[in-house]
Structure 1
Amino acid sequence: MATIRIEWRIRQFSIFPKIIVAFLMIIVPIYVLSLVMNISGEASVREEISMSMKSRVHFYLNSFESEMTRLIKLNREYSFDEDLRNLSTIAPGMNEFDRVKAILSLQNKLLLMKNSSLYVADVKVYIPLLERTIHANYYGDELPLEELHALEDFSDSHKYPFIFWHTRLLISELYPKPITPNKMPIFASEVELSENEIKQSLLQASHTSQGGAVLLDSSQNWFIANDQDMKMVPKLKEFMMRKPFQEELMGQGYIEMERKNYLITYERSHLLNTIFMVYVPESQILGPLNKYRNWF
């Protein structure tokens, strides 16, 4: 009788390891499969986020570049404007009526250009022969000599369109080219871009509550950023100085700021000599995925 009880207890005891083994044989493959699917899903999500960020950056830069190209072209076309040519070459020989008529006609064209783009803050043409500057909205004084020299120096030494002078971002055109040393140009046209509108477009381009966007000169001489993005600018400049990113047209990488990792996406514009950069906290774009991964 005692022997039967011992055998029954042995059988009862040995069934638990069998249950555990059977349980593990069922659970482990499911766990491994789920883990593999999670890793694969994370890679897929990362790739989708990467492509989405690159697409967003490219769309913004392409739109901005197209608009700047249009403004540059319009500004250059003033070289062929009849009213401007007459005012800049034969103004003293024109009667009062014809001169005023030409000034008002030119001013109307400048106003049309200004109103054609939100990015334009002002458009003006300096005519040395008149010793006056014609703005889109008013008839102004002579252009400061310091500003004219800055336009001349830039025109001689740069092939890119933007001039950053006294916190103002300008597109200029001088006629004739090349500039003759120690001689005033016949006229100088200048488009001042609206920094506020560019900042507003950067807010829309970043499209995240914790991220941001910055427009950076490729030579790092100037940048445009909203107030909340200012602390990131030194890090972004440092990021672009890294060897892999110095020559690539488009790329992505990570930086750390205040114990947070940020995904950086950028694209260069060789035409404008600028870099458009968007940064997003990694936790914001991968937060739900990271929580799910922690379950495993």
Structure 2
Amino acid sequence: MRHLQKLFKLYPKLILSFLIVLTPVYAISLMMNNYAERNVQDKIEESMKSSVNFYIRQLESDFNRIIRMQEEFVNDRDVGLLSGAGEIFNDFDWRNAVINTRSRLTSLRNLNSYVREASIYLPSEKRLISSAAAYGQLSEVEYDLLKSASRQVGNPFVYGDDRLYVSFPFSNLALINGREPRFLVSAEIDGTAVGDVLDTMKIDGNGGAFVVGHDENWLLHGKTSSTDFMHAIMDSLQLSRAEGEKVLRIDGQTYWVNIEKSQKLGFSLIMYMPETQMLGALKQFRVWFWVLSVISVLIIIVFSYWIFLQIHQPLRRLIQAFRGLENGTPDKELVYKRSDEFGYLYQQYNHSVSRIKELIHEVYEQQYRANLSELRQLQSQINPHFLYNNFFILYRMAKNEENDNIARFTSYLGKYFQFITRTQKGQISLAEETAFSQTYVDIQSFRFEDRIIARFAELPEHYANVEVPKLILQPIIENVYHHGLSNTLEGGLLEVRFKEEGNKLFIIVEDNGEEMQQADYDELQHKLQASSGWSNVETTGVINVHRRLRLEFGEEGGVVFNRRPGGGNQVILCIPLVQEHADKIAISEKGRESIHV
């Protein structure tokens, strides 16, 4: 069963190979479909934009014609008579003036299909003349509504009582100081006529259009448009800031919307189109494209399985042979009678088995050299890191003009670099490493002053000459300053001590700073416990020291990181003692005991 599972790893690869071959074809087809869809979208958008632009210009032209005809009443002699000078004319002249004025109002109504009724209001006479009635009583409510147009800049429309008017109140003093206009010309807009024009804006009978005032208090639309739906569009658009092309999602359906504003007349023309109606054919084409793709994949699977069966038997024998080689029991020789690719593989396998013993020695030697090279590279990583931190401290003192401290600090740095440059050895004595770390603490005292106290236990004499990798203690102390105690304002404590158990020496570094967060602690423990895959993890600080100790001393060496109860952290460096050092320590211990006795 396990052999079968291994064998079937080839089958997905066969399918993948065919898919890789066919993927460019499908990708190009999909790109062409997308290009066609985008092209159609662009054309429809351009059509909507052109249609909206054409119709809003037509509406502006028609409404401007109404406004100009209203303005012509300013110089009309009959209107002038009726609006204030009636007392100097006789009744005959008065009747003629009314008839002539009504005739002109009728012409205004008949010359523009958008006008339902045209009227002139005479406030001085409390009368109105309209295309429907020769001489009627003036409605105060309606008059007050219409004369408000004089206070609207760039907006001649007045809406009230579900009726829309284009109003022109004429007054030399523009309604200031309570003065009434001499007369007021109004044209009631026929919403049905405007709606019929808006219905002609549909593309292939789909979508719709409507006109709305900038203050959204009036709305004109065609017969097939829903008022609630149009209000939903306006709510989604935030009409005061919207213009151009928009895509809206309303009641689970996507709509394309084009908005154009008439700044002169204070209204907007909005055209909308359901996306499903615009791209229905293209969507259907895409569905068939994916159906074809699925069928093609099924054909690939069947064909791949047939090929798989053709190579199944020779491949199984080859896998079994390699499994025996993996377990240390290779077959003496594989026999294959056909001269195809598998024949070549069998021949090469037989040749490889005969050379395995020769290659083992070379592999071990190469691994040793790689580990030695990696050890040297890891040691070299520490120096730039430490150099950067100390130059940052020197920069801060220089910025604060602490000249005496700079002199002392550079003296310590000189000792540090004298130690670094005097030898390129990867191994140094523990005494040198400890002294070097104490120099680093002296340097850090300039930064933290009395905030942190460092205590170094005395290094026992018999440990002084223990050989350790260079720079294993200083990076641990550096982490304490930069992480554990960086936010400590007072009472910070750093403690370093030494302990021996069996044939192992432990260097213990403790602090009472901030406790590491649980997530960071878990991640660090995971990295410390990993026995492989170090090339993908951080190689500075604790991980760097841990890795170098592992490379130097094997699995027994390394770093242990603990969180102390009540706050703070503890880092333990484990250094296995070689037999030579262990013997020297034992002799030294016996000597001290005899002296004591």
- Per the TM alignment, residue 136 of structure 1 is displaced from its structure 2 partner at its CA by 1.5
In the alignment, structure 1 residue 217 sits paired with structure 2 residue 213 = yes
Task: Find the counterpart in structure 2 of residue 234 from structure 1.
Answer: 231
- Relative distance call for 1:117 and 1:207 in structure 2 (3 A) is farther
- Per the TM alignment, residue 43 of structure 1 is displaced from its structure 2 partner at its CA by 1.3
Inter-partner Cα distance in structure 2 for 1:145 and 1:56: 41
Q: Spell out the pairing of 1:28-43 with structure 2 (5 A cutoff).
A: 28-43=23-38
- Per the TM alignment, residue 85 of structure 1 is displaced from its structure 2 partner at its CA by 0.7
Return 5+ residue gaps in structure 1 as ranges.
1-16
Task: Find the counterpart in structure 2 of residue 170 from structure 1.
Answer: 165
1:62-119, CA deviations, whole angstroms, 9 ceiling, x for partnerless residues?
A: 1001111111111111111111112212212211221111211111111111100110
- Per the TM alignment, residue 270 of structure 1 is displaced from its structure 2 partner at its CA by 0.6
2:285 partner amino acid: Y
In the alignment, structure 1 residue 282 sits paired with structure 2 residue 278 = no
Inter-partner Cα distance in structure 1 for 2:256 and 2:247: 5
Task: Find the counterpart in structure 2 of residue 293 from structure 1.
Answer: 286
- Relative distance call for 1:264 and 1:104 in structure 2 (3 A) is same
- Per the TM alignment, residue 30 of structure 1 is displaced from its structure 2 partner at its CA by 3.5
Task: Find the counterpart in structure 2 of residue 113 from structure 1.
Answer: 108
Does structure 2 retain, via aligned residues, the 8 Å contact 1:212–1:229? no
Inter-partner Cα distance in structure 1 for 2:152 and 2:128: 24
Inter-partner Cα distance in structure 1 for 2:128 and 2:159: 20
- Per the TM alignment, residue 263 of structure 1 is displaced from its structure 2 partner at its CA by 1.0
Task: Find the counterpart in structure 1 of residue 258 from structure 2.
Answer: 265
- Relative distance call for 1:42 and 1:140 in structure 2 (3 A) is same
1:237 partner amino acid: M
**2:193 pairs with one of 173, 194, 197:** 197
- Per the TM alignment, residue 52 of structure 1 is displaced from its structure 2 partner at its CA by 0.7
Does structure 1 retain, via aligned residues, the 8 Å contact 2:156–2:168? no
- Name the structure where strand makes up a greater proportion of residues: 1
- Per the TM alignment, residue 210 of structure 1 is displaced from its structure 2 partner at its CA by 4.3
1:203 partner amino acid: D
Does structure 1 retain, via aligned residues, the 8 Å contact 2:236–2:248? yes
Inter-partner Cα distance in structure 1 for 2:230 and 2:59: 20
Inter-partner Cα distance in structure 2 for 1:23 and 1:106: 83
Inter-partner Cα distance in structure 1 for 2:261 and 2:91: 50
SS in 1 for 2:62: helix
- Per the TM alignment, residue 246 of structure 1 is displaced from its structure 2 partner at its CA by 4.1
Q: TM-score w.r.t. structure 1 length?
A: 0.84
1:146-182, CA deviations, whole angstroms, 9 ceiling, x for partnerless residues?
A: 2222223331244311001211111111121411444
- Per the TM alignment, residue 196 of structure 1 is displaced from its structure 2 partner at its CA by 1.1
Task: Find the counterpart in structure 2 of residue 124 from structure 1.
Answer: 119
For the aligned residue pairs, the C-alpha RMSD in angstroms reads 2.4
Return 5+ residue gaps in structure 2 as ranges.
1-12, 291-597
SS in 2 for 1:89: coil
Inter-partner Cα distance in structure 2 for 1:163 and 1:38: 50
1:281 partner amino acid: P
2:119 partner amino acid: K
- Per the TM alignment, residue 279 of structure 1 is displaced from its structure 2 partner at its CA by 1.2
- Relative distance call for 1:253 and 1:151 in structure 2 (3 A) is same
2:216 partner amino acid: Q
In the alignment, structure 1 residue 57 sits paired with structure 2 residue 52 = yes
Inter-partner Cα distance in structure 1 for 2:36 and 2:144: 59
- Per the TM alignment, residue 237 of structure 1 is displaced from its structure 2 partner at its CA by 1.4
1:270 partner amino acid: Q
Inter-partner Cα distance in structure 2 for 1:161 and 1:83: 24
Q: TM-score w.r.t. structure 2 length?
A: 0.43
Does structure 1 retain, via aligned residues, the 8 Å contact 2:98–2:135? no
- Per the TM alignment, residue 194 of structure 1 is displaced from its structure 2 partner at its CA by 0.5
Does structure 1 retain, via aligned residues, the 8 Å contact 2:149–2:169? no
Task: Find the counterpart in structure 1 of residue 74 from structure 2.
Answer: 79
Inter-partner Cα distance in structure 2 for 1:192 and 1:179: 22
In the alignment, structure 1 residue 145 sits paired with structure 2 residue 129 = no
Identical aligned pairs, as a percentage? 25
Q: Spell out the pairing of 1:86-97 with structure 2 (5 A cutoff).
A: 86-97=81-92
1:126-161, CA deviations, whole angstroms, 9 ceiling, x for partnerless residues?
A: 123443211123213222112222223331244311
Inter-partner Cα distance in structure 1 for 2:95 and 2:240: 52
Does structure 2 retain, via aligned residues, the 8 Å contact 1:132–1:139? no
Q: How many residues align structurally?
A: 274
1:88 partner amino acid: S
Compare CA radii of gyration and give the structure with the larger one: 2
Inter-partner Cα distance in structure 2 for 1:22 and 1:175: 82
